[in-house]
Amino acid sequence: MHSRTATVIGYVLGFALLFVIWHLASQYLVSSVLFPSPFPVFERGWVLLEEGLLQESVWASMRRIIQGFLLGSAIGIPIGLAIGSFRPVRLLLEPWTEFFRFIPAVAMITVSVIWFGIGEESKIFLIAYTTVFVVVIATAAGVGAVGRDKIRAAQCLGANKLQVFALVALPATVPYILTGMRLAMANAFVTIVAAELVASNDGLGKMLWDARLFMQVEDIFVALISLGLLGFATDRVFRLLIRAFAGRFNPTM
Amino acid sequence: MVAFVELDGVGMTFRGRTGAYEAVRDFNLELSEGEFFCLLGTSGCGKTTVMNMLAGFDTPTAGQIRLEGKPVRGPGADRGVVFQGHDSLYDWLTARDNIAFGLRLRGMGARERRAVADRFLNMVGLTGQGGKHPSELSGGMKQRIQIARALANDPRMLLMDEPFGALDAMTRAVLQAELSRIWSENRKTVLFITHDIEEACALATRVGVMKRGPGGTLKAVVPIDLPFPRERTSDAFMASFRQVHELIHAEIHPHA
Ligand SMILES: Nc1ncnc2c1ncn2[C@@H]1O[C@H](COP(=O)(O)OP(=O)(O)OP(=O)(O)O)[C@@H](O)[C@H]1O
Ligand SMILES: [Mg+2]
């Protein structure tokens, strides 16, 4: 309880300090209309909120991230489990993962727009693409890292192969899967902004692009802060989940 | 009459990048039901290798292991294992659910499982601690959970690989006394590995001393015919200790 209060106070002070430094920098270091102080940015953010425009952009981006992310995880987790559990599958699929993970999702934007148009599908495809390989690799590594004694203990308590998998390998891998998803989520933010900058009718990336066209510097900063806060919030959720599953929580019984 | 456990000319040769290494050669031993056999030897002589073969984790490259006349093929619920470290506990389960793991595999209902698990928690002196996770338990408590987990599954025999090796001297003495008490009550067959001579003499009905590897094998078996609980300061205990000590000493200083 005490440490949680301390954490919250730390965050509040940390953010406050960031804004103070930002304000001072905008006043004394680079006083230019191109680098506004936080106050006009907050004012602008408030206006955009009242008009409902900010929520619209945030929701457009988050919806794509969540859909693509869930799709990518749903594909990546079983593949990762299979690669980690069965040697032939690993030998067969490892070249794929090793090949595709070096083709970043932003490089796939053009081809995905050609295939899927500039609607939702192309973004969901890109987010799923960027998610899937990270999740596959983390999941497979997790299966490989299950302690030998954990499996042996189950065997001499009478577990068959299926039980060893479902009751030992799988729960022991959950923290690795969540860690992979956490990394993938960071990639998803990169990818969605890039995709929306290039080809989109809405979302935070589009907002950034439009603001540049019309030289609305405050709008740019509102979009940037929104991205930071959204990323921060999702990452906290994952950290809580990982801590819950890795230590004390009981996901199976 | 066939012995309960027979190790018959058992050998194990590991083949790796550095070539072949014969860890165990021509290991012969018969265990009768209900005895507490301590396997004693210097580090690296092949104790764990022998246990792994008896547990069914590894297949001997020579000879045969039989349990009640039947050759051992792979691990099974008839041989409960307590591992050297405590990495074998399931971090995501409570102490109680760890203990009940084997019962759950057999499809026992939740309520019955809980009752059995609580009985074994009491037996290892952890009454009321069943809701904690392994990360919240001390090293000694974790080894107690391992022992309770193996016992709750009601195996025919218990294999223990230096279960108290990583504990401080006081905790070790407490757990030795508890294990001895539990064994006196249920008289399960135990193969207990240790490199602590006093521990072996305090617990065992027979102590087997191994010769150093390569080609580690059983060098001598010393029966300890003393009543339980053992008086560690008694002359008879000292005599057994000295006898085993001399056998071990010859292994540590082979040319002395
Ligand atoms: N998988 C393996 N591959 C190759 N050599 C092995 C393997 N396992 C054990 N050995 C070797 O076999 C010998 C016996 O090992 P073992 O683990 O049985 O010793 P131990 O008596 O249990 O020792 P300790 O008291 O230190 O636990 C050692 O020399 C070891 O290096
Ligand atoms: Mg060993």
Asked if A163 has any chain B CB less than 8 Å from its own CB, the reply is: yes
A144 with A128, same domain: the answer is: yes
- For A106, the token pair is 């932003």
A5: number of Cβ within 10 Å: 9
Q: pLDDT tens digit string along B68-121?
A: 999 999 999 999 999 988 789 999 999 999 999 999 999 999 999 999 999 999
Mean pLDDT of chain B: 91
- Supply the ipTM of this predicted assembly: 0.91
Whether A252 maps to a domain, the answer reads no
A11 with A68, same domain: the answer is: no
- pLDDT in the model for residue B1: 63
Whether A222 maps to a domain, the answer reads yes
Cβ B181 vs Cβ B208: under 8 Å: no
Q: How far apart are CA A180 and CA B161, in angstroms?
A: 35
A140 with A20, same domain: the answer is: no
Q: pLDDT tens digit string along B117-166?
A: 999 998 888 898 999 999 889 888 999 999 999 999 999 999 999 998 88
CATH of residue A77:
1.10.3720.10
A7 with A82, same domain: the answer is: no
Whether A130 maps to a domain, the answer reads yes
A50 with A14, same domain: the answer is: no
Whether A81 maps to a domain, the answer reads yes
State the DSSP string of B172-223: HHHHHHHHHHHHHHH--EEEEEES-HHHHHHH-SEEEEEPPSSSB-EEEEEE
**C-alpha of residue B51 to centroid of ligand 2, in Å:** 9
Q: pLDDT tens digit string along A132-160?
A: 999 999 999 999 989 999 999 999 999 99
Whether A205 maps to a domain, the answer reads yes
Across the A:B interface, residue pairs with CB atoms under 8 Å apart total 83
A94 with A192, same domain: the answer is: yes
Side by side, the strands of the sheet bearing B70-71 are: B19-31, B5-16, B62-67, B70-71
A187 or B254, which is more confident? A187
- pLDDT in the model for residue A250: 39
A152 with A77, same domain: the answer is: yes
Residues 6+ apart with CB under 8 A from A71: A124, A127, A128, A131
Which residues, given as ranges, of chain A have pLDDT below 50?
249-253
A148 with A31, same domain: the answer is: no
Q: How far apart are CA A220 and CA A228, in angstroms?
A: 12
Tell whether pTM > 0.90.
Answer: no
Interface test with B, best of A157, A163, A250 (most B CBs within 10 A): A157
Amino acid B94 reads T
A6 with A46, same domain: the answer is: no
A103 with A191, same domain: the answer is: yes
Determine the structural domain holding residue A9 and report its residue range: 1-35
Residue with tokens 């390989």: A133
A27 with A146, same domain: the answer is: no
The bridge status of strand B5-16 relative to strand B62-67 is: antiparallel
Question: Could you give the number of structural domains in chain A?
Answer: 2
Asked if A152 has any chain B CB less than 8 Å from its own CB, the reply is: yes
- pLDDT in the model for residue A27: 86
Q: What's the full length of chain A, in residues? A: 253
